[in-house]
Amino acid sequence: MRFVYSLLLLFIGSIVTYAQQTNKVWSLEECVDYAIHNNISVKKSELATQLKEADVTSAKMNFYPCFWERWSQLQFWSPFE
């Protein structure tokens, strides 16, 4: 049991040491860039824009007649009957 606790303590200690080594001082420009790229509101608005573009494309595609509907109408129509 002591062995497990000592391994756990060693693991946690190595994580804390690694986390402390990766700390760096950020400049204001880096902070602003990070905030812009990771802002949830900005990501939501980008996704909303993509969704609206997909809606426009879908509406345009629904406006044109479907080829298969035309084909099925032509298939059963015969001028000689």
Q: For residue 79, what pLDDT is reported?
A: 58
Q: For residue 59, what pLDDT is reported?
A: 83
The rounded distance, in Å, linking the Cα atoms of 55 and 61 is 10
Average pLDDT over residues 5-15: 71
The pLDDT tens digits for 28-70 are: 999 999 898 888 988 899 999 999 999 998 888 776 666 656 6
Q: Where is mean pLDDT largest: 11-15, 54-58, 72-76?
A: 54-58
The rounded distance, in Å, linking the Cα atoms of 46 and 52 is 10
Q: Which of 21, 24, 1 is nearest to 13 (CA)?
A: 21
The rounded distance, in Å, linking the Cα atoms of 45 and 71 is 41
